[in-house]
Amino acid sequence: MKFQIHALRQDGQKVLLHYDNQLSTLTWQDGTPVVPVQPGSFRDATVVSVNQPGRKGQVRVLKISLGLSCNYECSYCNQRFVPDSDASNPDDIEPFISQLTDALLEPPERIEFWGGEPLVYWKTLQPLAERLRGLYPDTQFSVITNGSLLDADKNEWFDRMGFSVGLSHDGPGQSTRGPDPLSDPEKFADIMDLYARLHSQGRISINAMVHAGNQSRAQIQAWLQQRFGQDVNIGEGAFIDPYDEGGLAATLQTQQDHVRFRALAYKELRQGLASRMSVAQQRIMDFVQSIRTARPASSLGQKCGMDKPNNLAVDLHGNVLTCQNVSAAATAPNGQPHHIGHLSNLQAVKMRSATHWSHRPDCPSCPVLQLCKGSCMFLQGHLWDAGCDAAYSDNVPFLAAAIEYLTGCIPYYIGGDFRDDRKDIFGQVHGVPEQSARRVIPILAYDRTVAA
Ligand code: SF4
Ligand code: SF4
């Protein structure tokens, strides 16, 4: 799909750029590419759907779901209404290890330990990780925790076992998640002890989510910098997908909400106020790379990667799952089971619960396709619609920032054969964002110098 990107140069002149989301070409009006292109070599992505089930094999990333119990109640949690299957316990470990070692031909590159809140399953997590560390000494281990159950002994263990830790915290929007462990002096001390152990090795990030009640990445960053220091690494950082009515209430409701959020997000990117959030760097540079390498849309899988054969989610009973956020007892919105096979017979796994972006009505003709990659692959119906709307408004500021980075021009309107309500990026009310005297987006200044 071809788009006409209307943009403003630094001197206020209007410029027309041409963008093709299928071929990843971005050219000036006369057809000249905005940057030199060195075509990469790409393989077509696996297209998963109910009629073309996803397969598993050659596992690189193993996600082990310990269960969905959690001691917090985030109102937008994607696991809130997923029926839990049998909880894991230490007796499951040996049968699981035996199935796993039979199934894997090589050590996985990474093993992720998932809850719920994984530390609720401490009695299982500890012996399981020790057993796996013995088998796979070089594999990266990671865990995402709300941090409320940490203590000095657990911190020492995470450090010794070589874990990378993502600490979920929404900064100023934390109240949506529940209690704030950072406001409890004992928990704060335990969290900071783990932070001090892992930060210098780049093994800890604070993972924050953006939602209707927590829209400003600048405020999230400033809040977390105050507690964890200027060089805090902030993981996640994208707008939430809605998985139930609670999540729906935390998305943007009106067209005005959408354009206001886009304008705010873009302004904060330009001012360098979201520079510690990995999502900003990743999405902008991923788009820049798509243009430099002419990455075809046919090579794009889903954003979370769980449609790929080498990303495997399992529970301790050996059940293979759509992803770590569901259970073997759950059914996907398209009526297909999230329980898609068993570790003892990986070749027979069939994932029918997911829908690749190419089978969605709006994705192939969406200007942010190369950044968004189709939102959550199992959502359907009104939750899918709201998630898609949120994903568009989340990604279009990154698209604008990447185009400004490549051309020095600020996009404000996208023409083409797609939804009319999405064309005016920042809305009539907000107009074109105020131009800064700085031509280069601050967060990318260093990289641009290197790349030039
Ligand atoms: S914003 Fe919506 S239409 Fe566009 S790629 Fe994402 S999910 Fe698809
Ligand atoms: S399918 Fe992917 S995006 Fe959807 S809940 Fe699972 S991991 Fe998240």
- Each residue of 279-306: pLDDT tens digit? 999 999 999 999 999 999 999 999 999 9
Ligand 1 atom closest to 372 (CA)? 6
Q: Whose CA is nearest to atom 6 of ligand 2?
A: 323
Contact 90, 129 (CB under 8 A): no
Mean local confidence (pLDDT), 265-274: 96
Q: Is the pLDDT at 271 greater than 80, yes or no?
A: yes
Ligand 1 atom closest to 388 (CA)? 2
Q: Is the pLDDT at 224 greater than 60, yes or no?
A: yes
Ligand 1 atom closest to 367 (CA)? 4
Q: Ligand nearest 1 Cα, by number?
A: 1
**Tokens representing residue 311 in the block:** 């990303």
DSSP H helices in 250-322: 255-270, 278-292
Q: Whose CA is nearest to atom 5 of ligand 2?
A: 325
Mean local confidence (pLDDT), 79-90: 79
Q: Is the pLDDT at 450 greater than 70, yes or no?
A: no
Handedness of CA 432, 437, 441, 442 (dihedral sign): negative
- Residue 183's alpha-carbon distances to 33, 194, 237, 376, in angstroms, are 52, 16, 22, 33
Nearest to 204 by CA among 145, 267, 127: 145
Q: Is the CB of 250 under 6 A from ligand 1?
A: no
Rounded distance from Cα 323 to ligand 2 centre (Å): 6
Q: Is the pLDDT at 256 greater than 90, yes or no?
A: yes
What pLDDT is recorded for position 80? Answer: 76
Per-residue model confidence as pLDDT tens digits over 233-255: 999 999 999 999 989 999 999 99
What pLDDT is recorded for position 339? Answer: 97
What pLDDT is recorded for position 143? Answer: 98
Contact 297, 21 (CB under 8 A): yes
> Would you place residue 87 in the very low, low, confident or very high pLDDT band (cuts 50, 70, 90)?
confident
Burial of 315 (0-12, 13-18, 19+ CB in 10 A): buried
Q: Is the CB of 384 under 6 A from ligand 1?
A: no
Rounded distance from Cα 78 to ligand 2 centre (Å): 9
> Would you place residue 5 in the very low, low, confident or very high pLDDT band (cuts 50, 70, 90)?
very high
> Would you place residue 446 in the very low, low, confident or very high pLDDT band (cuts 50, 70, 90)?
very low
> Would you place residue 447 in the very low, low, confident or very high pLDDT band (cuts 50, 70, 90)?
very low
Q: How far apart are CA 186 and CA 160, in angstroms?
A: 22
> Would you place residue 78 in the very low, low, confident or very high pLDDT band (cuts 50, 70, 90)?
confident
Burial of 159 (0-12, 13-18, 19+ CB in 10 A): middle
What pLDDT is recorded for position 429? Answer: 44
Q: Is the pLDDT at 155 greater than 60, yes or no?
A: yes
Q: Is the pLDDT at 372 greater than 70, yes or no?
A: yes
Q: Whose CA is nearest to atom 8 of ligand 1?
A: 363
Residue showing tokens 């499951």: 92
- Residue 179's alpha-carbon distances to 94, 127, 342, 355, in angstroms, are 36, 29, 37, 35
Share of the chain above pLDDT 90, in %: 87
H-helix or E-strand spanning residue 208: strand 204-210
> Would you place residue 440 in the very low, low, confident or very high pLDDT band (cuts 50, 70, 90)?
very low
Q: How far apart are CA 154 and CA 314, in angstroms?
A: 24
Rounded distance from Cα 365 to ligand 1 centre (Å): 9
Please name the residues in contact with 368: beta carbons below 8 A apart, sequence gap of 6 or more.
391, 392, 395, 396, 398, 399
Dihedral in degrees, nearest 10, Cα atoms 51, 52, 56, 62 = -70
Mean local confidence (pLDDT), 409-432: 86
What pLDDT is recorded for position 433? Answer: 52
Rounded distance from Cα 373 to ligand 1 centre (Å): 7
Would you call 339 helix, strand, or coil by DSSP?
Answer: strand
Contact 90, 340 (CB under 8 A): no
Length of the chain in terms of residues written? 452
Contact 370, 300 (CB under 8 A): yes
**Tokens representing residue 452 in the block:** 């030039």
- Residue 290's alpha-carbon distances to 9, 53, 309, 370, 435, in angstroms, are 23, 27, 23, 8, 26
Would you call 232 helix, strand, or coil by DSSP?
Answer: coil
Q: Is the pLDDT at 443 greater than 50, yes or no?
A: no
What pLDDT is recorded for position 428? Answer: 63
What pLDDT is recorded for position 77? Answer: 83
Burial of 6 (0-12, 13-18, 19+ CB in 10 A): buried
Q: Is the CB of 303 under 6 A from ligand 1?
A: no
Per-residue model confidence as pLDDT tens digits over 133-154: 999 999 999 999 999 999 999 9
Find the residues whose C-beta lies inside 6 A of ligand 2.
78, 304, 306, 322-323, 325, 376-378
- Residue 263's alpha-carbon distances to 246, 398, 409, in angstroms, are 25, 11, 16
Q: Is the CB of 379 under 6 A from ligand 1?
A: no
Q: How far apart are CA 150 and CA 155, in angstroms?
A: 7
Q: Which of 105-127 are b and which e, b meaning 16 or more Cβ less than 10 Å from the residue's Cβ? A: eebbebbbbbbbbbbbbeebbee
What pLDDT is recorded for position 396? Answer: 98
Angle between helices 122-135 and 93-103 (to 10 degrees): 30
- Residue 257's alpha-carbon distances to 48, 393, 400, in angstroms, are 33, 10, 18
Q: Is the pLDDT at 203 greater than 60, yes or no?
A: yes
